[in-house]
Amino acid sequence: KKMDLGKFEEDNSQSCRLSSAVPEVCKTEDCCLGIDEAGRGPVLGPMVYGICYCPISKKTDLQDLKVADSKTLSEVERENLFGQLEEANSYVGWALHILSPNTISTGMLQRAKYNLNALSHDTAIGLVQYALDCGVQVKELFVDTVGPAEKYQEKLSQRFPGIVVTVRPKADSLFPIVSAASICAKVSRDRVVKSWKFVEDLGEVDTDYGSGYPNDPKTKAWLAKYLDPVFGYPQFVRFSWSTAQTIMESKAVPVHWDDDEQDGEKAAAKQNCASMLSYFSRKKPESAGREPHRYFAERRLETVENL
């Protein structure tokens, strides 16, 4: 089946998985599987993880398609190569996991931090498991590294015993099956970014946001233009990225949270009111000297600190 992004476009605040049909030959023959991502660095749009797999006996056929690292190809070349991978669906399969900007940022900023490396590892592992659950006979796994290659290789080998795992930097330029995964991931990210539906009421949105990378002047200008001083950024933006945070700190309305664990008591004292934390402290509040309510006095009830 073709790459149908409708499921993600229905709600682009959530992440979603897409996949091709599994070729029958991949359920009976030993297969190799490659993993790569697109959009790890940009401050705009999703990050997409892709896997591509085919029988080990068909590796040369895949090479003949002349797949290459997606970053070295133009958009037209990537689209053409993805079309060729689709035409080779009798022996090539793929699956994608689109991680929305909202998923990435909320994970990185939540109380128990979920950093990008951990998210990347879990997503990659989830896609390999998905292929295995679909019946793909994976025997070789090739991965572009995230973090130290040796540690990642050991982690994957322990997680998938019986599969020969190879983790290398620049794997997308070394192994055609990883190049194919790279193309699938990049094509889907490009399509998602191009057709992004803004749920926020922004009027006629200027879609000339450059590459989406933080150091791109066009991207920076777009971020400055579409910052709401109260509500921040639309969900197209990874608001956990330092570029977005810097602009928010300088141009948005400052917000002070009085129940912040670190400065809540000081903030409350400045405003001459009790901090929420004071109700859980051992010392008596300053207002403790007042007369108790008649209900307590008549029943001779007193406040105790120690039982």
Count CB neighbours of 215 within 10 A.
Answer: 11
Pairing mode, strands 138-144 and 31-38:
parallel
Q: For residues 33 and 140, is the Cβ–Cβ distance under 8 A?
A: yes
CA gyration radius, the chain: 26
| Residue written as token pair 């997409």 | 48
Residue in 121, 134, 153 with CA at minimum distance from that of residue 95: 134
- Return the CATH fold of 5-195: Nucleotidyltransferase; domain 5 (3.30.420)
Q: Is 144 annotated as a binding residue?
A: yes
Question: Between helices 242-251 and 217-225, what is the axis angle to 10°?
Answer: 40
pLDDT, residue 1, reads: 47
Compute the Cα dihedral for 79, 84, 85, 89 and give only its sign. positive
DSSP state of 198: -
- List the chain pLDDT tens, one digit each, 307 residues: 468 888 898 889 899 999 999 999 999 999 999 999 999 999 999 999 999 999 999 998 888 888 766 677 888 989 999 999 999 999 999 999 999 999 999 998 888 888 899 999 999 999 999 999 999 999 999 999 888 899 999 999 999 999 999 999 999 888 999 999 999 999 999 999 988 999 888 888 888 888 889 889 999 999 989 998 888 899 999 999 988 888 888 888 887 665 555 555 565 566 566 666 666 666 555 555 677 777 777 778 887 777 6
How is 225-264 classified by DSSP, letter by letter? HT-BTTTB--TTB-TTSHHHHHHHHHHSPP---TT-TTTH
pLDDT, residue 258, reads: 59
pLDDT, residue 7, reads: 86
Helix spans in 33-115 (H): 59-64, 75-87, 101-109
| Residue written as token pair 């509500």 | 231
pLDDT, residue 129, reads: 97
Q: Is 260 annotated as a binding residue?
A: no
Q: Is 263 annotated as a binding residue?
A: no
Q: Report pTM.
A: 0.80
> What tokens appear for 135 in the block?
């019946």
Question: Could you state, in order of their start, the residue ranges of all structural domains in the chain?
Answer: 5-195
